[in-house]
A and B are shown apart, each in its own frame.
Chain A
Amino acid sequence: MVSSYFLYPLSDEGEQIVRQQGSLENLFLEDKDLMDLVIHTKSQNISNDSYIPKSLAEYTLKRVEWYVRKKYDKEYEHNDYAFLLNPELEIYDVISFYIAAQSIGINFNPNSRESRVFIESQGQLIQERLETLSKTLREETIAKLLNQLIAADNLHWTSLAELLGSKKINLSHLIIDKGQIILDKKDFLDRFEHKIEDRIPEKMYDILIGDKIKELIVNRMIMQNTENYISKVHEMVSNVEAHPSLIQIGAKISKTLTENYSYSSNQGGDIKASKFQVEAFPPCIQNTMDGVSAGNRNDAIVLLMTSFLSYARLYPSVFKNKADLKISDLDKGLKITTTEILPLIYEAAQNCNPPLFEDDPQEKLNITAKLGFGVHETPELDKEGESKWYTPMSCEKIKIHLPVLCQPDENCKKIGNPLSYYNLKKWLMKQSMTNQQTENTKKSEGN
């Protein structure tokens, strides 16, 4: 049986281990036992010294590096990080979890990419650690974790509101009856057997629910609790002096992310960032540029325009690359942001009826927040990470929030996001220009 704290470090047992054995004094000291366990992990690549974490601090950084490389680096090799799945390292792992979470909570905002990457990495680690277990052991482990995470026998769907609200889980993934999330086979059969025709009800349960949904809930709840823990640390940091080692590790985590993102992003990716081509904007953005009337203007400017224009100008390949970049990764001194992006957003705000900032001046602060610089009048580098840089709204979301702006044309049928429209239209315009040039060359050669 794998210890539950190897999957859920925030469990009571995990907390106890940290209380008894977690010390911040020797984080950077070489730990022979740790190295020995890593080297003797089955399939672990030991061909290069750099694959072996030599201290708890290095183990903590490897945890983050593993996730970013696995996600973005085409040359990623599982055996370089096989030790992360070794339960013999569980005590080190739990302590390193707390070191990373506290370092991130102290140094960064709960919305920062450092927080998000760490939370996602915990979810991925749980998944991979579960995959190493036999079916029975996996079921037992999940049942034990579920009991720890959910106090009541019956799970009402609204008790997962936090997971639903942060999009870690989707309502449609769950089978719900009279408000209860159905997880148990007998319960499923009691409620639905009479409705199922032409199929074996037991098999229907296995297909729709089985262990998958339980694992999904456990996984996402642990991710959510990790997020809450980071937020708690972040709130406390103003009252308690942070340990210098944690500040140092926070900086190293951030550096690890920046270095490893270069595997995929290459500063903007395949679809290159370039000056705005207003004529390639989709109809919803063109309509917003022309001005929006009261009722829709706040959402149109703050949610739609801000995210669209910032990504269109700086990071048009975000949906292809998926690397979690900050504006300053792409616009180091924020020159493009302040001289090209914000003026266009403000112009659209001025075109609204009535002009947005005349009666809602605080929306300037919300625009800054949506760019990832917290609730401030203008974006400043030292405030970056106080909020999240919002990705452009999807067409589906625009239809919900701003249906009046959605007047699709032919190209809209091919895309699901205004940013994809912009990339497509730019490409089509470029193609048409190239064809035109070729034709002109042929004509002039003919003459």
Chain B
Amino acid sequence: MNKREFGFDHLGRGPNDRYRVFKNSDLLRKFLRYRAPFAVYSSVAFYKKPWKRGEWLKSELVFDVDAKDLPVRSCNCDSVCEICLDEALQIVGSIIDVLKEDLGLKNVHVIYSGRGYHIRVLDPAAMQLNSEVRSQILKYVSGAFNPKNRYYMESLPGQKPYELEHFTIPVGYSAVFTDRIKYIILHLTGEEEIDQINPRLLKDVMQNRHFLEEEKWGLFKNKIGPRRYKNLVDGIAKLNLGLVDAKVSIDLKRILRLPTSLHSKVSMKCMKVDNIENFDPLKEAVPKFVRERKEF
């Protein structure tokens, strides 16, 4: 705890008091009681000299999935609601699968942030990674680019390539990409405006997406047409980058809302999620004083 930087929002307009350090939780508790800030934050980074963010030691690997900013939401609400929070949690689940099953990372935690979720990885193997590697992990887990579809058997000049679409490769990044593309297509409302996907293509996608529920990718691609299929997956790949707030993942010195503190703008508790399968923020993250209000 004494290696992290703490930040506070005393005016209700974002963190305005940073570089704070606490030796133990008692001192932090006293500070909170005395100053009663609007919001509390702590750094993902550990420093030798946290009071000046000096001598960086390591940082948690973080993924911020905000329900309000999801690129595709089936609810169309203005802020966040039960539906988009649930969709955010589905995305969190699929990212955790990749972090654990593909990348073999351990010590992976989920925090409900008030408007979405933070995945916080404290695996020592990941905490030393620089921003460039984190950026690559981010793109890998979110399916942010269309994988190559031409493969060569050997590194020899003049060979003919094998053409393999992502959905024919059930391993590695291609499998992650297929999973993300499927998620987005099945959650489209048909009203979206997406770069590289014109209204006619979107309409055809909506008409034929039932093939994907049965994993019939070949049939789906045939119905769409090979050229338009490439436009479709390229367009969705760009959207996928928006599944996670990229800036949070690559920033080694970010401060994040402190679990157990209150998100004062939405009156929800920022809290650790022990079981993502049955977590319901509208039941578990509502503070007592809100629950006791008459209108709740």
Measured CB to CB, the residues of A under 8 A from B are 127, 130-131, 135, 156-158, 161, 164-167, 170-172, 174-180, 192, 195-199, 204, 206-208, 210-212, 215, 396, 399-401, 403, 413
Contact = CB atoms under 8 A, between A and B. Distances in A.
B171 A158 contact: no
Contact of A210 (B125, B147, B153): B153
Contact of B250 (A211, A400, A413): A400
A196 B171 CA distance: 9
Contact of A401 (B169, B170, B247): B247
A171 B173 contact: yes
B154 interface: yes
A189 B287 CA distance: 51
Contacts of A130: 155
Contacts of B104: 156-157, 176-180
Contacts, number: 103
A8 to B, nearest CB: 17
A413 B153 CA distance: 34
Given A161-B128, A165-B130, A172-B136, 16 more contacts: A131-B157, A158-B129, A165-B132, A170-B136, A171-B136, A171-B137, A171-B139, A178-B104, A180-B104, A196-B171, A198-B168, A207-B153, A207-B162, A211-B155, A212-B154, A400-B246
A312 to B, nearest CB: 24
B207 to A, nearest CB: 26
A161 B130 CA distance: 8
B46 interface: no
Contacts of B198: none
Complex A-B, nearest 5 residue pairs according to Cβ-Cβ distance, in ascending order? A179-B104, A172-B173, A400-B246, A195-B170, A158-B125
Contact of A207 (B101, B133, B151, B155): B151
A334 B209 CA distance: 58
B152 interface: yes
Contact of B155 (A127, A167, A174): A127
Nearest to B157: A131
Contacts of B192: none
B129 A165 contact: yes
A127 B104 CA distance: 31
Given A208-B151, A212-B155, A192 B170 contact: yes
A400 B171 contact: no
A396 B155 CA distance: 29
Contacts of A208: 151, 169, 171-172
A153 to B, nearest CB: 15
A131 B105 CA distance: 37
Contact of A157 (B103, B135, B145): B103
Nearest to B137: A171
A175 B153 CA distance: 15
Contact of A196 (B129, B138, B170): B170
Q: Is the interface of A mostly helix, strand, loop or mixed?
A: helix
A303 B145 CA distance: 23
B164 interface: yes
Contact of A400 (B101, B102, B133, B135): B135
B172 A212 contact: no
A156 B156 contact: no
Contact of B105 (A166, A171, A174, A179): A179
Contacts of A413: 195
B92 interface: no
A403 B164 contact: no
Interface in B129-182: 129-130, 132-133, 135-140, 145, 147, 151-157, 162, 164, 168-173
B241 interface: yes
Contacts of B125: 156, 158, 179
A131 B156 CA distance: 7
B32 interface: no
Contacts of B153: 206-207, 210
B126 interface: yes
Contact of B247 (A131, A135, A400): A400
B103 A211 contact: no
A86 to B, nearest CB: 20
Given A164-B136, A399-B241, A175 B246 contact: no
A204 B197 CA distance: 32
6 contacts: A135-B154, A174-B172, A176-B102, A179-B125, A180-B104, A400-B138
A238 to B, nearest CB: 23
A407 to B, nearest CB: 13
Given A165-B130, A171-B140, A207-B151, A403 B169 contact: no
Contacts of A206: 153
Contacts of B162: 207
B102 A177 contact: yes
B159 to A, nearest CB: 11
Contacts of B132: 164-167
A282 to B, nearest CB: 16
Given A156-B104, A171-B140, A199 B168 contact: yes
